Amino acid sequence: MEKTRIETLSVAPQDFLVTACLLSLASNVSAAQNLALAHAQLKKLGKLQVSQNLISAAAAKNQSTLNQDAWFIPDYHNQMAYLALAKPMIYLDLVALTKNIEQQASRQAFAKPLVALDVDIIAIKPQLARCSGQDEHHMEFLPLNDGWLGIARRLPLASYDWACYTSLMVEQQGQWLPLLTARHAPVFCVESDLLGQ
């Protein structure tokens, strides 16, 4: 399956006032405890909807040339979360907040493939955007549906994120969520398995 070129927007991230976001959550160190910590912190900011928990093997276990220690790497617990913020937040403040939540779970105490907590922003719903195009911190965003913007470096989704996203879409009947399509899915997905076709 050939990758499709996706048009991006280059704008200054501090120009975004975010009202909602789609987040990828992952942990393989005290996963239940660390994901619960993330949920508690995110709920303080607004309404949180979380997908079912997906357990996936660490990438090192899937490689054909394994070293003996790879089998002792705990499986990852992955979730996709939709957060509707009670008060709009500047995009860079949201990024800082996700890093702060990771640090609360002692993220820095572990080196990959061990991950205490990973909180990645997949897409944002901006209240308004001023596209100044002059800031050195430019990031690339992908225009999605209904005013949502995807974080270019996070798309296409990894297979575990895609599975969590589709689970959340089914649970929420697609309400509120950005519509990700075949071009945002992992390359190996079969077209009939994709939502938003």
Q: Which residues pair with 55 in a beta bridge?
A: 77
State the DSSP code for 104: H
On whether residue 6 sits in a domain, the answer given is: no
Sign of the Cα pseudo-torsion (98, 100, 106, 110, in order): positive
CATH classification of the domain holding 55: 3.30.70.560
On whether residue 183 sits in a domain, the answer given is: no
Question: CA-CA distances (angstroms) from residue 195 to 8, 56, 165?
Answer: 21, 21, 10
On whether residue 169 sits in a domain, the answer given is: no
Does the global pTM surpass 0.85? no
The one-digit pLDDT tens for each residue of the chain (197 residues) are: 344 444 545 555 556 789 999 999 999 999 999 999 999 999 999 999 999 999 988 765 555 445 555 567 889 999 999 999 999 999 999 999 999 999 998 877 777 788 999 999 999 999 865 444 333 345 688 888 888 888 888 888 888 999 999 899 888 776 666 777 656 665 443 333 333 32
On whether residue 4 sits in a domain, the answer given is: no
Structural domains of the chain, count: 1
Give CA–CA dist 89/147, Å, rounded. 16
On whether residue 188 sits in a domain, the answer given is: no
Residue found under tokens 């596209």: 131
Number of helices and strands in the chain (H, E): 4, 8
Domain with 86 in it: 12-59+72-154
On whether residue 119 sits in a domain, the answer given is: yes
On whether residue 93 sits in a domain, the answer given is: yes
Give CA–CA dist 156/105, Å, rounded. 27
Burial class (CB in 10 A: 0-12, 13-18, 19+), 177: buried
On whether residue 194 sits in a domain, the answer given is: no
DSSP E strand stretches across the chain: 9-11, 16-27, 46-50, 54-56, 76-90, 118-129, 139-143, 149-151
Give CA–CA dist 2/24, Å, rounded. 25
The pLDDT of residue 174: 63
